[in-house]
Amino acid sequence: MSRTAHRLFVLAAIVALVCTGALTLHVFAARQAGQTPAAGAVDPAILNTFKWRSIGPDRGGGSIAISGVKGRANEGYFGATGGVQRGSRAARAGRG
């Protein structure tokens, strides 16, 4: 793992822990005040602090379909947003 990737991973872990801690403290404070939050309920003030941003791939990259070929155990096709690819076990093993 590169140094940059490692730093990003550590940063993401810290952010996740801080968010978890904040939600835990919120629930604890509500219980101390005599309020019992409903199961799965989150204070709207907390939810309003979050903003949507895409962290996925820029170019799509989703798979659409995958299929084998009846009678040809070593052949298959994979459909994705970039087109269709044919695969075989022989090619994967370096023989095709």
pLDDT tens-digit map of 2-22: 788 888 888 888 888 887 877
pTM over 0.85: no
User: Which strands make up the sheet holding 72-80, listed edge to edge?
Assistant: 63-69, 72-80, 83-88
What local confidence, expressed as pLDDT, does residue 96 receive? Answer: 45
Domain residue extents for the chain: 3-47, 63-92
Whole-number average pLDDT of the chain: 74
Q: What are 30-50's pLDDT values in tens digits? A: 777 776 656 567 777 888 888
**SS3 state at 68:** strand
